[in-house]
Amino acid sequence: GDQDDLLARYISVLGGSPPVGPTFGRGDCNADGSFNIADAIFLLAALFSGGQAGTCTDACDSNDDGSVNIADAIYALAALFSGGSPPANPSPGTCGEDLTTDSIDCASFAPCP
């Protein structure tokens, strides 16, 4: 219909492709819209003490290695407190799609439209 034609025109002019999945901010594991120590604690609780898992596994993959494990909590803590590299794009505080091919996904991420 008309919307498909309009989208095709935007893509041809601007380049790229439309997002293929939900957008999210990497590192914001608890999906509260900010990147802080609560994200590392949320992840550690989910991994080791029966805490709830988030709805966006990609957001918890702070080091963007395609899996969610203790290394992601360590990476987040290093970024927050030890001058470590920030989480990969889409970086905390932004919304974007995961451009890395891996087996984890994002069902939903409330802070992003």
Residue 57 is assigned to a structural domain of this protein = yes
Q: Is 96 exposed, middle or buried (0-12, 13-18, 19+ CB in 10 A)?
A: middle
Residue 7 is assigned to a structural domain of this protein = yes
Split into its structural domains, the chain has a count of 1
For the chain, the residue count is 113
pLDDT tens readout for residues 42-56: 999 999 999 999 999
Which of the two residues, 9 and 48, has the higher pLDDT score? 48
pLDDT value at residue 22: 87
Expressed as residue numbers, the domain containing 64 is 2-81
Specify the DSSP class assigned to residue 86. Answer: P
Q: In sequence order, what are the beta bridge partners of 56?
A: 106
Residue 98 is assigned to a structural domain of this protein = no
CATH number (domain holding residue 61): 1.10.1330.10
Q: What's the predicted TM-score (pTM) here? A: 0.81
Q: Is the pLDDT of residue 19 over 60?
A: no
Instruction: Quote the mean pLDDT of the chain.
Output: 90
Residue 53 is assigned to a structural domain of this protein = yes
Q: Is the pLDDT of residue 7 over 80?
A: no
